[in-house]
Structure 1
Amino acid sequence: MKKGIVWLLSIVLLLSFGSERASADDSSRLDQEVNDVMGTPYKWGGTKASEGFDCSGFIIYIFGKFNLDLPRTSKSQASAGEYVAKSDLRPGDLVFFETGGNGISHAGIYVGDNKFAHSSSNKGVTITSLSSGYYKERYVTARRTISESTYQKMTGN
């Protein structure tokens, strides 16, 4: 009986380590860059991981990892690249929201699975569903600012 339990626990451990490794290997470079700064606090005007990010500063930081330049503010980023329908979003697209009643005031990076990464004023860098009540009601538009080759570098696709 003891040998059976030890054998079963060994199998469970092997399978769990194997699945963790597979998920780490399967994550894209975009996912890795976002995960590296997950939880970094919000800071108005912030563009550095060591100091904190505002929403557009977070985007500039992540896109900088891929040698991409974007305008500084979320409002100006919303004019970059080309329009993309919400139904056609792919990882690396930028999503924009009106949170203050004065036009575009928040932005994030679409990461797939109906989720976006952003620097939230109350949570810092986090990943949120586009379907969450707050952001679902405030979604304005999305832009594709990256080339096909950059998309492939970001995602491995």
Structure 2
Amino acid sequence: MSKTSTAVRAGALLGVIGVAAAAFVYFDQEPSASAPAAQQAAAAPVQRTADYTFERLDDPARTIVRDSQSVVATMTDGARTVVLSGPSRTFREPKATKAEVTTTAWVRLAPQAWREGEESAGWFRPWLAKALSDTTPDVLAVAMEYVDGAADEKNAEGVRFRGDAAFGPVAATGTGRLERSDFYDYLGVPWSFVDGTRTTPDSKHYGAVDCSGFVRLVYGYRMEYPLLGTNTRGPGLPRRAYAMAEFGPGVTPVPNTGRRVTAYDSLQPGDLLFFEVEGGADELDHAGIYLGVDSDGRHRFMSSRERVNGPTLGDVGGTSLLDDGGMYSRGFRAARRI
């Protein structure tokens, strides 16, 4: 591992934080005041040279890629999520908040978990070049395709794979647990998981996803990250929030100590966030996706919630903020980078 000076290390960190100043997708056109930012306009990719330098940083261990101008990408050891620098865009949900998130951060999945020295592997340079020129929806843009008012779209098989999602009905089962909606309920299709389990959708939950189901819809179904059908350790993302946080794949830039988290600078866009919000549960019961810093300078996330009836970055039924002292801010306990 190469050592960096304090100045270089600080500069690289500021670059990463700058990349993390997030938002939703509008490039060079203004939407109507009431329209959700659920479509992504065409954008020219940022021009890059192929002369890169690679720096190693700690806590968590990661590789920073620079060109002659700025930070190009950040890869974290043990994680597949990569934050790339790309065209600026703005994420907004006018019905739910006046705040917006404007960002040059694009979050994509590398074909394998990062390791120190992986920049010398044969797959990396071609993948990086393609990823930097790719302006199709990334993790953040895909997440916005399920907010209130988002347009529906079906695939060739007639399955609605994106569009305004509900939270779904909540009902107690015979075991006392709450029955909620996973991604396959939203889709209305049966699903076979990498752990060998298979499940069928509940028609009552069609078009709906709960908080962890939303994470699985975005990262699993849309971005093709492996998914588990259970809440166990394995080669994929478990079903429930507590299991994702406790023994999900990837790394923990913010571990769960049982206390409120305030280490916001340890986060980067696309990180999974975990909360303890149901009074007396003493369990991580809510999950979301970190977007970055909004137009008010606050750390904003996105999740699916019962009160607003679906995915939102807004402030209905509790502000979508980590640093304002609100319900989710007080309950913020951990983060995972998958």
Same fold (TM over 0.5): yes
What pairs with 1:8-157 in structure 2 (closer than 5 Å)? 18-20=28-30, 24=41, 25=43, 26-27=88-89, 28=106, 29-39=138-148, 40-43=165-168, 44-47=180-183, 48=186, 51-64=207-220, 65-69=222-226, 70-79=237-246, 80=248, 81-85=250-254, 86-100=264-278, 101-102=280-281, 103-113=283-293, 114-123=299-308, 124-127=310-313, 128-132=320-324, 133-145=326-338
With normalisation by structure 1, the TM-score equals 0.72
Q: Percent identity?
A: 30
Q: Which moved more, 1:42-51 or 1:94-103?
A: 42-51
Whether contact under 8 Å (2:269, 2:292) holds in the other structure is yes
Letter in 1 for 2:224: N
Letter in 1 for 2:269: P
Q: Over the residues paired in the alignment, what is the CA RMSD in angstroms?
A: 2.2
Deviation at 1:111, TM superposition (A): 1.4
Whether contact under 8 Å (2:290, 2:300) holds in the other structure is yes
Deviation at 1:18, TM superposition (A): 4.0
Unaligned runs of 5+ in 2: 1-26, 32-39, 44-87, 90-105, 107-137, 149-164, 169-179, 188-205, 227-236, 255-263, 294-298, 314-319
With normalisation by structure 2, the TM-score equals 0.35
Unaligned runs of 5+ in 1: 1-16, 146-157
Q: 1:30 to 1:104 in 2, by over 3 A?
A: same
Count of residue pairs the alignment pairs up:
128
Q: Deviations over 1:4-57 (max 9, x none)?
A: xxxxxxxxxxxxx94439x94434422321121112211222322652110000
Q: Deviations over 1:39-82 (max 9, x none)?
A: 22112223226521100000000002111121111111102222
Deviation at 1:131, TM superposition (A): 2.5
Q: Hey, what does 2:35 align to over in structure 1?
A: none
Q: 1:20 to 1:46 in 2, by over 3 A?
A: same
User: Greater RCO between the two (CA within 8 Å, min separation 6)?
Assistant: 1
CA distance in 2, matches of 1:108, 1:57: 10
Whether contact under 8 Å (2:277, 2:331) holds in the other structure is yes
Q: Which moved more, 1:125-134 or 1:40-49?
A: 40-49
Local SS of the residue matching 2:167: coil
Runs of 4 or more, structure 1, over 3 Å off, are 17-21, 23-28
CA distance in 2, matches of 1:18, 1:140: 37
Q: Hey, what does 2:173 align to over in structure 1?
A: none
